[in-house]
Each structure stands twice: as structure tokens, then as C-alpha cells.
Amino acid sequence: MNARYGSSVEYERFAAFLKESKRPKALDDINFSSPVLVQVITYHLYNEYLIENWINHKFAKGISIFSGANFTTKSKITFAKNIGLPEEIFKAVTLLNSIRNKLAHDINVEPIDDGTLQKLIKAMDNIDLDKNTYASLYPYQKEKIENLSGDAKMRYILHMVLSTMSLKIWNYLFNDMFMITTHE
């Protein structure tokens, strides 16, 4: 493997991206017992923020490309896909956005049933086709999950899926920014 280097300007750009993309304190309060509504909205906002921050640092040295404009989440993630965000991340974030939209239009709706959860698991798994992270986490949680039922089971699995999805998104964005701010 060849060593990589970057100029001081490139390093500052990468460091600024990292600083602004760090895990928000709001996620510290989200856990396996958090309500579905809280998990969906928090992870949706975090993923949107990560992608928007990536766009800003990739093309505008951290300056907001979307400032002063009325872009929807869908338009931001479509823009991101058109500039290099992998299709698998686009699909996963789009699915989470549609779940969030259900909640936005009816806060009393149950946005995630077993079918939707399975779609979310598949979308998250597809982000990295070589490493099925959910499947690798499941055996360690299997006994705990099987002892749960109903809403508690749904919340537990949802947290595992959404947190893993966000980590995969962050990992892609981190690697992409590293590669564009360094050279062999």
C-alpha cells in the first residue's frame, strides 16, 4: 500500500470535515429502548446532516451549498447521489426519509411494521455488499432479541439497524473525503 499525503490546505479541509461531522450529543440519548419516533427522526436528521456536510466540504470548502435555498431532504440526497454518493446509501437514506415523512404527516401512525423493518435491514445491509454488518451483529444480540416481543423487539432491532446504517454512511463519507484530500 502506498503512503498518502496532502497539503496543509487539504489537511485543514479534511480536519474541518471531521470536526463538523462528529457524532452529535443527541445520539447519546438514543438507545435500544428509545421510541421509534425518536430513533427515526434523530437518525434521519443525523444522516441528512452528514451528507450535507460532505457535499459542502467536497465542493465548497465547508461553505453551505444549500444556504438560502429551499431544498428538501430528497433533493439533497439526490444531488449527493449525482455527485458520487453510492446508490446503496441513496436507497437506504431515501427509505428512512419516507418513513420520517409518514411521521411528519401523521405523528400517530405506526411508521414501521415488520415489512418496513425488513426493507430497512436489507437497505442497510446493501450499503456494503462485502460485509453484512447487521448479520454479523445479530448473533451477538440474538438471545436478547428473541426474549423481546412487540414494540420492545421492534425498537431494539431498529436501533441496531439505524446506528449501523449511520456508521456505514459516515465511514463512506470519511473515506471519500480522505481520498480527495490526499494523494499517493
Tell me the per-residue pLDDT of 151-178, one tens digit each, with 9 for 90 and over.
899 999 999 999 999 999 999 999 999 9
φ/ψ (deg, to 5) at 164: -65, -40
Distance separating alpha carbons of residues 112 and 155, to the nearest angstrom: 10
Three-state DSSP at 148 gives coil
Tell me the per-residue pLDDT of 76-89, one tens digit each, with 9 for 90 and over.
999 999 999 999 99
pTM across the whole model? 0.91
